[in-house]
């Protein structure tokens, strides 16, 4: 029987009922502007302070280290541009990032190159783990910031972020991590991670789209990206999006409470990996164990990922080939190419991203559907015909 299975949680997640319930009073009753001097404004300011404190408790940082933004893209832009602009005055005009970052980071770095900054793009191994030796060799006392993601959004590999921070700090550079995919899926304790800045986004963890934050460790000073009023300690102008901030706080608390359930999610992920890599001419993309608990990325030779998505969609399964933000482009994934996957194979990848809402029956349904779709598409491929002929 046809089911609906949402397996694209790395692209976005539905807002959970509990998060929505927490937000609703801020639209109707507690709608004041936290900067207003009257009682409604003071009440809104209390709600804002409370949300910030609760988020700090979840992340293991101080409340005054959290700055609300419109999401992951803004946080990435702010951290890197803000650090680059600030550190330029100290003669630091070099930025280090990796080849597998999200475009919010890569395009920010490219924009800074046009402003005269030099950028080093560090490579990764075949599992997508950043090459620490290369990193050590490129970070110098001219480096302003090392920007490397906590976990990759396409292949799910988790990076050795504590070591990356140590390498950055050894040369006096700042360390920023885009943790948009990691938060909610990895238990992050900012008091131990060693990073100076961290970006997260609400819509990846059952809060709405358009809310995120940048953690900036106390004592670290970066330039502003968005000028305006005195909000966020004069570091990020704009009236605070109180309902969404309250939603983000609740979503982070729920994600923390549900950490033990990630074992179940990881077991479903492993079952999918086992079943899908048993299909001939398929292989896992990303690290086998150092990976996000809900993320599966499998490459199938002799087929186009986009065709597979269409057939899966007709079967009621929402999946993706890589990152949603670059899905309009038919270029092969820069992440897969960086791991050494050849062009022709990089086109046949399938990303399935699970969540706490995913069930074993959903996983069974995906498994039942993928193999026949792969077979059907291969039977239409002239390249596959050659493989079959050569085997005879
Ligand atoms: N960074 C990573 C790793 C992501 O996966 C995404 C979204 O897919 C972003 C940044 C952008 O976040 P947002 O959609 O909140 O702007």
The finding on whether 201 has its CB within 6 A of some atom of ligand 1 is: yes
CA of 228 to the centre of ligand 1 (A): 24
Bridge partner residues of 317 (DSSP): 5
Atom of ligand 1 nearest to the CA of 151: 3
Active-site option among 109, 175, 318, 325:
325
User: What pLDDT shows up at residue 329?
Assistant: 61
Contact by Cβ (8 Å): 346, 292? no
82: CB partners within 8 A, 6+ apart: 222, 223, 224, 225
Summarised one tens digit per residue, pLDDT across range 167-212 is 999 999 999 999 999 999 999 999 998 999 999 999 999 999 999 9
Q: Whose CA is nearest to atom 12 of ligand 1?
A: 72
Residue 286 gets the label, from left (phi > 0), alpha (psi -120 to 50) or beta, of left
Task: State both tokens at 368.
Answer: 């039942």
d(CA 205, ligand 1 centre) in Å: 12
Exposure b/e, 308-326, CB count within 10 A at least 16 = b: bbebbeebebbbbbbbeeb
Ligand 1 proximity of 72 Cβ (cutoff 6 Å) = yes
Q: Is 80 in the pocket of ligand 1 (CB under 6 A)?
A: no
pTM attached to this predicted model: 0.97
DSSP 122-145: E-B-TTS-B-HHHHHHH--TTEEE
Q: What are phi and psi of 206, to 5 degrees?
A: 70, 20
C-alpha 381 – ligand 1 centre gap (Å): 34
* 175: annotated active-site residue: no
pLDDT at 298: 97
Strand order, beta sheet including 143-147: 66-69, 212-216, 197-201, 174-178, 143-147, 94-98, 118-122
**CA dist 26 → 33, 286, 344 (Å):** 10, 41, 50
Q: Write down the pLDDT at residue 369.
A: 98
286 within ligand 1 shell (Cβ under 6 A): no
Given the CA of residue 203, which atom of ligand 1 is nearest to it?
Answer: 15
**What pLDDT does 253 receive?**
98
Q: Are strands 295-300 and 282-284 parallel, antiparallel or unpaired?
A: antiparallel
Cα–Cα distance, 157 to 177 (Å, whole number): 14
Q: Is 148 in the pocket of ligand 1 (CB under 6 A)?
A: no
**Cα–Cα distance for residue pair 337/41, rounded to 1 Å:** 51
Atom of ligand 1 nearest to the CA of 202: 15
- Compute the distance between CA of residue 175 and CA of residue 190 in angstroms, rounded to an integer: 13
Positions of the chain with pLDDT lower than 50, given as ranges = none
Is the distance from the beta carbon of residue 101 to the nearest atom of ligand 1 less than 6 Å?
no
Question: Would you state the pLDDT for residue 173?
Answer: 98
pLDDT reported for residue 1: 86
Q: What share of the chain is helix, strand, coil (3-state, %, to 5)?
A: 45, 15, 40
Pairing of strands 212-216, 197-201: antiparallel
Write the CB contacts of 298 (distance below 8 Å, at least 6 apart in sequence).
Answer: 273, 276, 277, 282, 283, 284, 285, 349, 350
Q: Assess contact for 318 and 5: CB atoms under 8 A.
A: yes
Site to substitute for ligand 1 among 71, 79, 201, most atoms within 8 A of C-beta:
201
Which pLDDT does position 97 carry in this prediction?
98
Please give the backbone phi and psi of residue 322, each rounded to the nearest 5 degrees, phi first: -170, -125
Q: What is residue 383's predicted lDDT score, i.e. its pLDDT?
A: 83
State the distance between the two ends of the chain, measured CA to CA, in whole angstroms.
Answer: 36
Evaluate: CB of 322 within 6 angstroms of ligand 1. Answer: no
The confidence score (pLDDT) of residue 326 equals: 52
* Each residue's pLDDT tens digit, 115-154: 999 999 999 999 999 999 999 999 999 999 999 999 999 9
178 lines ligand 1 (CB under 6 A): yes
């Amino acid at each position: 029987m046809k089911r609906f299975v949402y397996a694209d949680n790395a692209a976005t997640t539905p807002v959970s009922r509990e998060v929505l319930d927490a937000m609703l009073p801020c639209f109707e009753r507690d709608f004041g502007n936290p900067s207003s001097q009257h009682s409604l404004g003071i009440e809104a300011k209390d709600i804002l302070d409370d949300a910030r404190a609760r988020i700090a408790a979840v992340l293991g940082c101080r409340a005054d280290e959290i700055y609300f933004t419109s999401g992951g893209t803004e946080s990435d832009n702010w951290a890197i541009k803000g650090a680059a602009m600030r550190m330029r005055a100290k003669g630091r005009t070099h930025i280090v990032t990796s080849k597998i970052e999200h475009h919010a980071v890569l395009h920010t770095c490219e924009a800074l190159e046009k402003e005269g900054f030099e950028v080093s793009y560090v490579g990764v191994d075949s599992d997508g783990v950043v090459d620490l030796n290369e990193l050590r060799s490129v970070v110098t006392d001219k480096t302003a910031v090392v920007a490397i993601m906590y976990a990759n959004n396409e292949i799910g590999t988790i990076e050795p972020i504590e070591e990356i921070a140590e390498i950055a700090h050894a040369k006096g550079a700042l360390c920023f991590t885009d943790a948009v995919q990691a938060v909610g899926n990895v238990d992050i304790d900012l008091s131990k991670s060693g990073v100076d800045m961290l970006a997260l986004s609400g819509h990846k963890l059952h809060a709405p789209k358009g809310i995120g934050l940048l953690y900036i460790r106390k004592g670290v000073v970066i330039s502003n990206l968005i000028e305006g009023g005195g909000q966020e300690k004069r570091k990020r102008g704009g009236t605070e999006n109180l309902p969404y901030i309250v939603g983000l706080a609740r979503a982070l608390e729920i994600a923390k409470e549900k950490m033990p359930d990630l074992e179940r999610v990881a077991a479903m992920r492993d079952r999918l990996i086992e079943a899908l890599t048993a299909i001939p001419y398929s292989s896992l993309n990303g690290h086998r164990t150092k990976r996000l608990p809900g993320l599966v990325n499998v490459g199938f030779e002799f087929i186009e990922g986009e065709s597979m998505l269409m057939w899966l969609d007709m079967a009621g399964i929402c999946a993706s080939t890589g990152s949603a933000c670059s899905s309009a482009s038919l270029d092969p994934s820069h992440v897969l190419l960086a791991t050494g996957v050849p062009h022709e194979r990089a086109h046949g990848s399938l990303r399935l991203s699970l969540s706490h809402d995913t069930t074993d029956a959903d996983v069974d349904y995906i498994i039942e559907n993928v193999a026949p779709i792969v077979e059907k598409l291969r039977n239409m491929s002239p390249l596959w015909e050659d493989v079959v002929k050569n085997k005879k």
